[in-house]
Structure 1
Amino acid sequence: MVKEDLADALRSKPRHGESFAARAARALRRTLSSSAASEVAAITRTAAVLQQPVTTGRQIAVTSIRGGSGKSTVAALLGTAYAHYRHDPVLFLEADPALGSLPLRLGAESLRWTTSEVADIVKADMSLLDVTGYLVQLPNNAWLLPASQGQIGVMLDSRAYERAVVALRRYFGVMVIDCETLPTEVARVALAAAHGRVLTAPATPEGITSTFSVLQWMQGLPRHVIAGTVVVLTELVAHSGVDFDEAAQRLRSTGVSVQVLPYDRHLAAGGRIHTELLAHPTREAAARLAADVFQLSLAQKRH
């Protein structure tokens, strides 16, 4: 885009006595200024979407059809974006007790209470300060409730999950829920009750085909489920060779929105996510995804 703008600028009429070098410098300044203005405008539009007030907390459920598709990474990026742009508290709720990687991605140094435990602890007369005493504090007014304490065998059934969400939803403007993979019961319950849904899929031919099959199944569910769903194609290796335009067109035919999370060396390392170490295209993609999901969630009533 910058090259095209620069070429157009160089074709413009030169000023009297102006050398080619001076003309090129003038064209470059004008092009960079225009590019910077466009970027600022895009950031402003994204911020305007993400900062919209809510009358009830938005529940954003993130799931996938198999492990290793970047589900917890996407959940971490989403919640981090909401916590950055919004002023109300944000909760990361882990509903995947099978040693999920969300606490690692968020840099949680200690884990105390779990989702199933808090489901029976939080009472209606508690204040936000009371509730956050059972949560892991994160930067930017965000909090984490893990599904396990790093132990194998911790259980979380759909009833405990529903009790936890009902107890916590009034305290937080946005809840990002890192679910188990489909078609487990908790994941299905979370998708049905959420305002926004994210389905992560690896950017591979098999991943796209499998996700398309799942979306066809979702078309048989109540209309609001698929209408409020965003599919995220995660590029887990550099230069995957996937035709993203063709893949997105195929998946959108089912009624979902589609976003692409490009390969990023920092994300591929698998440790704590430091947003300042993310490549610029990754940060832009995460912000677009957060805005897309949030906008869809505002159009959804709780079902």
Structure 2
Amino acid sequence: MSLPAANPYAGHYQSPPAPGAAPATGQGAAEPSRLPGLRRFAGRSKPSGPEQQRLARLQTPTHRPYRISVTSIKGGVGKTTTSAMLGLTFGRHREDRTIVVDANPHAGTLADRLLGERVMPTVRDLVSAEQRMRAVNGRGLTEPAQIHQYLGQTDRLMVAASEQNPEISESFDEEDYRRTQDILARAFDIIITDSGTGMKHSGMRGTLAVTDRLIVVAAPRFDAARRAVKTLDEVYAQGYPELVKDAVVVITMDTPKAVGINFDTLVQYFQRLCTTVVQIPYDRLLYAGGTIDYDRVSADTRGAYMDLASLLADGFTTGSPAV
């Protein structure tokens, strides 16, 4: 069986153009700079043993745009934090292009966590620009620089913000989310979607329809565990049993230790439902809720997210094409 066609935009990463600058063409696109996470080994020996193996797994190339959805029907369990840290981890340690998308229809905070509070374009602006351009050229936004104008950037990670007006955001439906994913697949190799808590919202159907790997986030509490199970049930009920079987449950420690629940029992329970369970240790800076500074996150927590990213990257060469 032949591999899916490679992303035609590979090797053409560019930062958003300066205000008033003309979008660059594919012929003159700048070559990607090396990642800070890879530059740090310059002039000294590279890591060896297990660390080198983990980096090699994390840097597994994609053969097509790969889509990861992070979800939970319960808020406050670390879903947005997980999306942000996973994106930052891929961005820090890979040479290709990663984007995180805020698909929360209720004024999501992903862009705030990564970029700080600011006025910036949203996914609705991106889709509107696609429609305008398609009316002009019949093809839509075809150059990465055109797409980047509607995104934010931190380090090597790009960010697509959600609409902050709830009335407008609620009307962003399944077709809009499919269109968003289609646009981003022209310019990015890894697309991470921070989904909302409303599993019945039509936008969630659009997200699940193109998902390659599902992450369900839980916290070490009885209510959070039950809602994580309910999330898996809802995904199954919507017709995606394979996503449930291959799902990764991420248990985020939002306190230094679990209280009133046996953590090992919790892990074993989720392992009966899906493939993998990953624990993310408590980090006080992350759970303060402010803008995330990757380099100030504890080494243990960064390492846990590297393990999660490596696990996901193991599937980059074997995943079947998304619908």
TM-score by length of structure 1 reads 0.80
Query: Match of 2:279, SS?
Result: strand
Partner of 1:269: 288
Give yes or no for contact 1:229–1:293 (8 Å, CA) kept in 2: no
Report the residue type matching 1:238 in the other structure: P
Output the CA distance in 1 between the equivalents of 2:71 and 2:233. 16
2:224 maps to 1:193: no
Mapped to 2, the partners of 1:192 and 1:296 lie a distance apart of: 18
Pick closer, same or farther for the CA change 1:300–1:111 going to 2, 3 Å.
Answer: farther
- Larger C-alpha radius of gyration, 1 or 2? 1
C-alpha deviation, 1:287, in angstroms: 0.8
Q: Which runs of 5+ in 1 are unaligned?
A: 1-38
Measure the CA separation in 1 of the matches of 2:159 and 2:281: 26
Distance in 2 between residues matched to 1:190 and 1:41, nearest whole Å = 38
Write out per-residue CA displacement over residues 25-69 of structure 1, whole angstroms, 9 at most, x where no aligned residue: xxxxxxxxxxxxxx8533222211221111211111111111111
Partner of 1:236: 254
List per-residue Cα deviations over 1:80-124 (Å, max 9, x = no partner): 011011111211111113121111210245333211221232354
Greater percentage in helix? 1
Task: Give the structure-2-normalised TM-score.
Answer: 0.75
Give the 5 Å matches for 1:20-31. none
Report the residue type matching 1:249 in the other structure.
Answer: Q
**Whole-Å separation in 1 of the counterparts to 2:234 and 2:142:** 40
Structure 1 stretch 179-188 or stretch 227-236: which is displaced more? Answer: 179-188
> What's the Cα RMSD here?
2.2
The amino acid of 1:47's aligned partner reads: L
Q: Is the 8 A contact 2:196 2:204 kept in 1?
A: yes
Q: Is the 8 A contact 2:126 2:147 kept in 1?
A: no
Shift of 1:202: 1.7
Q: Secondary structure at the match of 1:236?
A: coil
2:264 matched residue in structure 1: 245
Match in the other structure for 1:133: 149
Residue 243 and residue 45 in structure 1: after superposition, are their counterparts in 2 closer, same or farther (change >3 A)? farther
Q: How does 1:91-106 map to 2 (within 5 A)?
A: 91-106=99-114
What runs of 5+ residues in structure 2 fail to find an aligned partner? Answer: 1-46, 131-138
Q: CA deviation at 1:286?
A: 0.9
Q: Does 1:214 align with 2:231?
A: yes
Residue 34 of structure 1 corresponds to which residue in structure 2? none
* 210-219 vs 228-237, greater mean Cα deviation: 210-219
Report the secondary structure of 2:128's partner residue. Answer: coil
- Partner Cα distance (1:286, 1:118) in 2: 29
Cα displacement (A) at 1:178: 0.9
The count of residues paired between Structure 1 and Structure 2 equals: 264
Separation (CA, whole Å) in 2 of partners of 1:42 and 1:105? 31
